């Protein structure tokens, strides 16, 4: 499968990461859960508070540079890590950023609307626009493209980073590359667990491992959709990623593993499982998870152990995808006001 990575390496890419992120052993949680638990610290990818989106955005910004863009447009939830990181990447490259915020999480307070990632985006100099429907990816992308047309008419060269599944999944390439990084760092694992939202991180890592001949199960903890709908999304991403790389990826239907036991009521809504996971990581290991993604993905580790899917004594890698700035927007939800 080396030809697939040759194709990946030939694609345009900006450089935001200088070093591999560390993998560390979680001694206390290993003892508590009865497994050999390790953590991949992709919260330490560096740019703009880090997180998994740094890897994904290298390929989008590479394409934007080739296009001669002077403005980046991106859409996401109010407390999106993706849009915050894109604004940081744009600032680093001397580009303007336009952030569209979607109303995905109902019933939140003013702290949610103004702090955390929103505050950081403003500090990074981003312009903001708003889209009322949080469950309309096609409409959100259309609104961005309409704004891009206005900018183009004014003499700018905009580049849209899209959200919908009908677009080439450039972001997934970042985690195909991360699979190579992980393989070089450590011995094999019995299981990998990560958050599964847009699916780019999940499918990218899964496809990368399979292309390397690594058959470790990769479990995605659902943060936005039920397991049924997320599985369908991941299958579509597999096809799109294969088209992008001009190959048939060695990912079988049985390789797509999702768990929605901590999903709760909706995207961005915390529940007892995610609150417990967030507190446990902080109080046992001194590490911070975020309310939307990693608290639910670490709840997936706990849940899969409790269900016997991950057996006692197994060597498990948990992917920490970052997102800690959003903690400040959830102050009241966490009962710490």
pLDDT digits (tens, 9 = 90+) for 102-122: 999 999 999 999 999 999 999
Say what percent of the chain tops pLDDT 90.
95
The DSSP symbol for 47 reads G
Question: One of 2, 18, 30, 80 is an active-site residue; which one?
Answer: 80
Please state the separation of Cα 182 from the chain's center in Å.
Answer: 17
How confident is the model at residue 187, as a pLDDT? 77
Mean pLDDT, range 143-155, rounded to an integer: 98
How confident is the model at residue 2, as a pLDDT? 77
**Average pLDDT, whole number, for the chain?**
96
Say if strands 158-161 and 191-196 run parallel, antiparallel, or are unpaired: unpaired
- Delimit the domains of the chain by residue range: 2-52+168-330, 54-161
**Burial class of residue 256 in the structure, from the number of CB atoms within 10 Å of its CB (0-12 exposed, 13-18 middle, 19+ buried):** buried
CA distance 251 to 261: 24
| Contact present, 56 and 8 (Cβ < 8 Å) | no
Query: 1: pLDDT confidence band, cut at 50, 70 and 90?
Result: low
154: pLDDT strictly greater than 70: yes
Say if strands 36-41 and 315-320 run parallel, antiparallel, or are unpaired: parallel
336: pLDDT strictly greater than 90: no
Q: Would the CATH topology of 2-52+168-330 be identical to that of 54-161?
A: yes
Query: 18: pLDDT confidence band, cut at 50, 70 and 90?
Result: confident
CATH topology (fold) of 2-52+168-330: Rossmann fold (3.40.50)
Q: What is the pTM of this model?
A: 0.96
Which is higher by pLDDT, 182 or 18? Answer: 182
CATH number of this structure's domain 54-161: 3.40.50.1100
How confident is the model at residue 308, as a pLDDT? 98
How confident is the model at residue 310, as a pLDDT? 98
pLDDT digits (tens, 9 = 90+) for 263-321: 999 999 999 999 999 999 999 999 999 999 999 999 999 999 999 999 999 999 999 99
Strands (E), the chain: 23-25, 36-41, 71-77, 96-102, 127-131, 158-161, 191-196, 218-222, 257-259, 315-320
pLDDT digits (tens, 9 = 90+) for 33-80: 999 999 999 999 999 999 999 999 999 999 999 999 999 999 999 999
Please say if 231 is a catalytic residue.
no
Say if strands 23-25 and 36-41 run parallel, antiparallel, or are unpaired: antiparallel
Closest CA to 251 of 286, 215, 207: 207
Residue-by-residue DSSP string for 74-90: EEEETT-HHHHHHHHHH
pLDDT digits (tens, 9 = 90+) for 172-230: 999 999 999 999 998 799 999 999 999 999 999 999 999 999 999 999 999 999 999 99
How confident is the model at residue 186, as a pLDDT? 81
How confident is the model at residue 134, as a pLDDT? 82
Helices 53-66 and 81-93: angle between axes, nearest 10 degrees? 40
Number of residues assigned to the chain: 337
């Amino acid at each position: 499968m080396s030809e697939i990575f040759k194709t990946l390496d030939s694609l345009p890419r900006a450089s935001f990461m200088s070093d591999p992120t560390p993998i560390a052993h979680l001694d206390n949680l290993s003892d508590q859960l009865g497994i050999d638990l390790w953590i991949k610290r992709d919260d330490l990818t560096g740019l703009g508070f880090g997180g998994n989106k740094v890897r994904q955005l290298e390929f989008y910004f590479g394409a934007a540079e080739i296009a001669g863009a002077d403005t980046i447009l991106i859409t996401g939830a109010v407390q999106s890590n993706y849009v915050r990181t894109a604004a940081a990447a744009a600032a680093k490259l001397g580009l303007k950023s336009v952030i569209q915020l979607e109303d995905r999480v109902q019933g939140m307070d003013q702290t949610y609307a103004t702090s955390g990632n929103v505050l950081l985006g403003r500090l990074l100099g981003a312009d903001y626009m708003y889209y009322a429907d949080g469950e309309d990816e096609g409409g959100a992308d259309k609104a961005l493209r309409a704004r891009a047309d206005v900018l183009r008419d004014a003499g700018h060269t905009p580049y849209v980073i899209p959200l919908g599944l009908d677009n080439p999944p450039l972001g997934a390439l970042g985690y195909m590359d991360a699979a190579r990084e992980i393989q070089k760092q450590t011995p094999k694992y019995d299981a990998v667990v990560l958050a599964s939202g847009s699916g780019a991180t999940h499918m990218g890592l899964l496809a990368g491992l399979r292309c390397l001949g690594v058959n470790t199960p990769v479990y995605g903890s659902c943060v936005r959709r039920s397991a049924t709908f997320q599985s369908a999304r991941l299958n579509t991403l597999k096809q799109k990623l294969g088209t992008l790389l001009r190959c048939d990826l060695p990912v079988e239907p049985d390789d797509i593993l999702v768990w929605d036991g901590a999903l709760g009521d909706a995207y961005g809504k915390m529940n007892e499982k995610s609150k417990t996971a967030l507190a446990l990581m902080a109080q046992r290991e001194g590490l911070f998870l975020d309310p939307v993604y990693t608290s639910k993905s670490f709840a997936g580790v706990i849940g899969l152990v409790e269900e016997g899917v991950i057996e006692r004594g197994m060597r498990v890698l948990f992917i920490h995808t970052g997102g800690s700035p959003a903690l400040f927007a959830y102050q009241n939800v966490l009962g710490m006001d």
